[in-house]
A and B are shown apart, each in its own frame.
Chain A
């Protein structure tokens, strides 16, 4: 099913692919290596061929109108993609088209517009299912965002299945949205939350996770890609260990689905969540993937229209999943926009996106390390360890918020500062906050170069005030 859709989607190549051809005579030769303190410096991981003119970033940039603006007379460099991604014209058009030509409520009317809206809404569900290789679109529940999807699992599956003494294993690197709902559930049920720390390489320690597993373990809640460390966890392995003791696995795939092929079948995940806005789709929509047999056995999360079968005055019977979990009028236009985003991403190809981002991630990491007194968190990339295309860092004696403010004001470079909704992780790393530059496939080598130049200027500026 995945294959057929992918083939179908290839026909809908984003316009930029048709108009801009890579220029093979014009490869970029100004590749910078990182000055390293040790004599045995590893060979640079970046090869400039993929990053020069005609790169995926250069080809896709034209599809993102928002990127072509100046702030304070400087070209906008948007490096806050882990917080939210930008939207291509195809998605904006899909939203516009929905509201201009067939806006209507879904599942509720027999008239043409409602039928069309319902079809498109359900088609979007099918697109999500294909995108992550779910067996059936009924395994996809639309939610407001990943946070709501996690809360859905916590309140529905968690409250029904966890009891005193049961254990939920998480890592210290989880996003708050994957921690707090389970704290609520733990307080209500008496289940225990166990947190796995990091290895010396600053990667969540999955060996420790394995040791923590026992017959008491009922659930593992883990991220696929860390939004701070840029590490990637071997989810398939974690799942097989979990299933050995009869535990379920909920994967927070917010930072992986937008950047790489994610296949729920090969991962074996029981639940998986992601947010549309991080994958070039609109805000206000996200999804939960859940295995059919799990969703079917789960009680509703919210009550209202859409989710019922029959309502009597004293009780109701509930619709089958996914409707059971979609109370009230859903975010119709947003779901359709997400469908358009998936078409756009599939048109490029997730593998292609991933390959390019690995290259750009290494380029970012290597250049960032050339800034004096910088500490970049997470694993060192190598031939065997790929980092996601983001770097969280601190520069000695300069608050990350001051860095982000200056980069924004003086250089029109947008990065994030703060704890990135991962306070326990920052506490573990011994800092209160960090700065984070995060890339997407529409970023270019020039974006990274501008950022590094700007950061260098920023650190010099603050040093002059000391």
Chain B
């Protein structure tokens, strides 16, 4: 059976093995078939991953990680779509997902709290979302179901490290090929990865909002501080700045007005 495998990075792992059936219409042109080399993923120092080699009947060799690492979110989505389209047999999809489950980055046990639960899943799913200072999203997911973990692993590969705006661009329909077998195509309370994706996007939106607020706060504070500097010598300066910060946070615009009136 000839098949070839495209390697792509699964953060934080350097390589994300993928195999593609020779479905002509969806074979990216930059894939090289090289059945003689050792599988790249077997170099990943994980016991679990090594066991999964049997999944892939031919050894993979793809573009160097540096190239695949720079795939955009939409390119990654497309590549997942290709990959799962090329696996018409449900069992192969299940196997692939179970393999990806083994590549899921570790989840901090202390984050397994109620607030981090993704609801509406038949299995338990926890999601931790953070945003870097520069607006890059960090996702960690865990589940008690291995198949769900596999789905989550794919989502993490696509979205972890992406710009917040790019996270919001991903649509359920784009990833519909990940469904195994006859699972309903639309939103369903058992459609696990769809719920996880939606939660990732919801939490991203909230974080974008918070960042926006913070930036505004920061700007206003800066403006006021310069005002105080100009008016220098005022004993109250520091405490006032602190109070400004708090009022801005609380949205207490009336009081803020009063305070600024005092200054000018």
Contacts and interface: CB of A to CB of B under 8 A. Distances in A.
A406 interface: yes
Contact of A399 (B51, B146, B182): B146
B94 A405 contact: yes
Which of A402, A408, A432: most chain B Cβ within 10 A?
A: A402
A401 B51 CA distance: 23
Given A71-B182, A401-B147, A417 B122 contact: yes
A129 to B, nearest CB: 36
Contacts of B144: 399, 432
Nearest to B91: A410
B147 A402 contact: yes
B191 to A, nearest CB: 12
Which of B93, B122, B180, B182: most chain A Cβ within 10 A?
A: B122
Contacts of B124: 432-433
Interface string A144-188: 000000000000000000000000000000000000000000000
Nearest to A406: B94
Contacts of B180: 405, 409
B90 A410 contact: yes
Given A71-B182, A432-B124, A465-B98, A399 B145 contact: yes
Contacts of B52: 465
A431 B232 CA distance: 65
A417 B189 CA distance: 13
A72 B122 contact: no
Given A72-B181, A433-B123, A409 B145 contact: no
Contacts of A406: 94
B90 A401 contact: no
A432 B143 CA distance: 12
Contacts of A417: 122
Contacts of B146: 398-399, 402, 462, 465
A418 B123 CA distance: 7
Chain A interface bracket (under 10, 10 to 19, 20 to 34, 35 or more): 10 to 19
B194 interface: no
A417 to B, nearest CB: 6
Contact of A409 (B94, B122, B148, B192): B94
Given A401-B122, A465-B98, A72 B147 contact: no
Given A72-B181, A409-B91, A409-B180, A402 B122 contact: no
Interface string B181-207: 110000000001000000000000000
A71 B90 CA distance: 12
A410 B144 CA distance: 21
A329 to B, nearest CB: 29
A401 B148 contact: yes
Interface string A402-414: 1001101110000
Given A401-B148, A462-B146, A409 B123 contact: no
A433 to B, nearest CB: 7
Contacts of A405: 94, 147, 180
Nearest to A397: B146
A417 B182 CA distance: 17
Interface string A47-74: 0000000000000000000000001100
Contacts of A432: 124, 144
Interface in A34-92: 71-72
Contacts of B147: 399, 401-402, 405
Contacts of B123: 399, 401-402, 433
Contacts of B93: 409
Contacts of A401: 122-123, 145, 147-148, 192
Interface in A371-411: 398-399, 401-402, 405-406, 408-410
B98 A409 contact: no
Interface in B9-55: 51-52
Nearest to B189: A418
A72 B148 CA distance: 22
Contacts of A410: 90-91, 94
A58 to B, nearest CB: 28
Nearest to A405: B147
Contacts of B98: 465
Interface string B49-79: 0011000000000000000000000000000
B181 A408 contact: yes
A395 to B, nearest CB: 13
B94 A433 contact: no
Contacts of A408: 181
B70 to A, nearest CB: 32
Given A402-B145, A405-B147, A462-B146, A433 B91 contact: no
Nearest to B101: A465
Contacts of A72: 90, 181
Interface in B145-195: 145-148, 180-182, 192
Contact of B90 (A398, A399, A409, A462): A409
**Pairs of residues from A and B, 9 with the lowest C-beta to C-beta distance, nearest first:** A409-B90, A399-B145, A418-B122, A409-B181, A401-B123, A401-B122, A401-B145, A402-B147, A465-B98
Interface of A: 71-72, 398-399, 401-402, 405-406, 408-410, 417-418, 432-433, 462, 465
Interface of B: 51-52, 90-91, 93-94, 98, 122-124, 144-148, 180-182, 192
29 contacts: A398-B146, A399-B123, A399-B145, A399-B146, A399-B148, A401-B122, A401-B145, A401-B147, A401-B148, A401-B192, A402-B123, A402-B145, A402-B146, A402-B147, A405-B94, A406-B94, A408-B181, A409-B90, A409-B91, A409-B94, A409-B180, A409-B181, A410-B90, A417-B122, A432-B124, A432-B144, A433-B122, A465-B51, A465-B146
Given A406-B94, A433-B123, 17 more contacts: A399-B146, A399-B147, A399-B148, A401-B123, A401-B148, A402-B147, A405-B94, A405-B180, A408-B181, A409-B91, A409-B93, A409-B180, A417-B122, A433-B124, A462-B146, A465-B51, A465-B146
